[in-house]
Amino acid sequence: MAPTLSAGTPAPITMPTERSAGCPFDPPPELGPLREGQPVQPLAYPGGHTGWLVTSHALVRTVLADPRFSSRMEFRRPAIHRPAIEEMITSDRVPAGMFIGMDAPEHTRYRRLLTGEFTVRRMRQLEPWIERVTDEHLDAMEQAGPPVDLVAAFALPIPSLVICELLGVPYADRERFQHDTRVAMTLESTPEEFDAARHSLGGYLRELVLRKRAEPADDLLSGLVTGGELNDEELTGIAMMLLVAGHETTANMISLGVLTLLAHPGQLAAVRDDPSLTENAVEELLRYLSIIQFGTQRGALEDVELGGVTIRAGEVVTVSIPAGNRDPERFDDPDTLDVTRSAAGHLSFGHGVHQCLGQQLARIELRCAYPALFRRFPTLRSAVPIEEVPLRADMNIYGVHQLPVTW
């Protein structure tokens, strides 16, 4: 459905995706002028569809919190060309258990079953164990000696091991689920490759669900199985969503956050010298990097006035988390990394009823990883020029493919 544009409204743009050369930590430069000029902008989606791009912090929050904007899968139209996802949206119903693509009451039902597993108190109980896991990986790095790829040795295995332990997924199977996740997240994956990865991971997790039914253990997935409220299809969908989100996003925040601090030695020194800044530094890195790089979609269930523009029922809205997190109306000097600032209110975990369920777990992992790494290796540095570090511009979640480091 094409928006009804009023007189003076600019023609639809395509989603900005290119970052400036030499600025790997900044979002595409076009987002700033869009936000300052017209924060609700007509957006041309691949395939001829037209919707809206929202770029201000306040209006992104409004869209994410307003129940008149739906999260249903039919509105999850990629703002960039992704044939595999476009085909899935047009051909499939929402997979059972994938409540990120649902509204109330379905979303409420699934979320209620999981909320108690991810409370601040429950996550803090895991902190001593996460610290031990972190130290064990640092021991292995130290024993191996430099140089090492920080992604393979540290950033990816820690959240993978943590989410496996929490869910009850055998960590020995990590190569399979990491491979399937990587294929599904790659923008250039063909529909055939995407489907193969999705069905491989789904089949693996369905087999795991069946094993949990036969022999439940002390883990989250077993608890959901024995709770009796979910069928095997729903359990498989929930397990897939939690497993992928639980390792992919945090792994990239660890590695990209480390690279960011290495590129800002003054900020790194502040964090290293004052452990009390760790919490601030984590929130600021989440804000500054905004690794969900291409936006989140919602669909208008009725006509809604937003930022002086009428969004018609049925139209798709993409909210730009990177643009909202760099809004000077919300954060002073937002393009500067400042680990002493309070970045409270950033949008990196979303907002409203769909905000990230595992955000407290991710925070604890990041608060453990960054200081422990720099305490163990105070001379840590990139083993290659920063401009040669391979960035994940080709992935839905931004980060680095590898990060060679030495000390």
- Asked whether residue 56 is domain-assigned, the answer is yes
Residue 136 counted as domain residue: yes
Task: Please check whether residue 23 lies inside any domain of the structure.
Answer: no
Name the nearest CA neighbour of 209 among 187, 227, 185: 227
User: For residues 303 and 9, what is the distance between their CA atoms, to the nearest angstrom?
Assistant: 18
Residue 20 belongs to some domain of the structure: no
d(CA 317, CA 309): 12
User: Is residue 116 domain-resident?
Assistant: yes
Residue 15 lies in a domain: no
Terminal alpha carbon distance of the chain: 55
* Beta-bridge partners for 381: 406
C-alpha span between 94 and 76 (Å, rounded): 11
- Output DSSP code: residue 388: G
Q: What is the pLDDT along the chain (407 residues), one digit of tens a residue?
A: 455 544 456 789 999 999 998 899 999 999 999 999 999 999 999 878 899 999 999 999 999 999 999 999 888 777 777 665 655 555 446 678 889 999 999 999 999 999 988 988 888 899 999 999 999 999 999 999 999 999 999 999 999 999 999 999 999 999 999 999 999 999 888 889 999 999 999 999 999 999 999 999 999 999 999 999 999 999 999 999 999 999 999 999 999 999 999 999 999 999 999 999 999 999 999 999 999 999 899 999 999 999 999 999 999 999 999 999 999 999 999 999 999 999 999 999 999 999 999 999 999 999 999 999 999 999 999 999 999 999 999 998 999 999 999 99
Q: What is the CA radius of gyration of the chain?
A: 21
Strands 296-300 and 316-319 come out as antiparallel
**How many independent structural domains does the chain possess?**
1
- Distance in angstroms (rounded) separating the CA atoms of residues 223 and 229: 11
Within a 10 A sphere around the Cβ of 209, how many other Cβ atoms? 22
- Asked if the structure places residue 21 within a domain, the reply is no
Query: 171: domain CATH number?
Result: 1.10.630.10
Which residue range(s) make up the domain with 260?
31-406
Q: Which residues, including other chains, have CB under 8 Å from residue 4's CB and lie 6 or more apart?
A: 310, 312
**Omega of the bond prior to 390 within 30 degrees of 0, cis?**
no
Q: How far is Cα 45 from Cα 78, in angstroms, rounded to an integer?
A: 7
Distance of CA 237 to the CA centre of its chain: 18
For residues 331 and 20, the answer to whether their CB atoms sit within 8 Å is no
Does any domain span residue 320? yes
Backbone angles phi, psi at 294, to 5 degrees: -115, 15
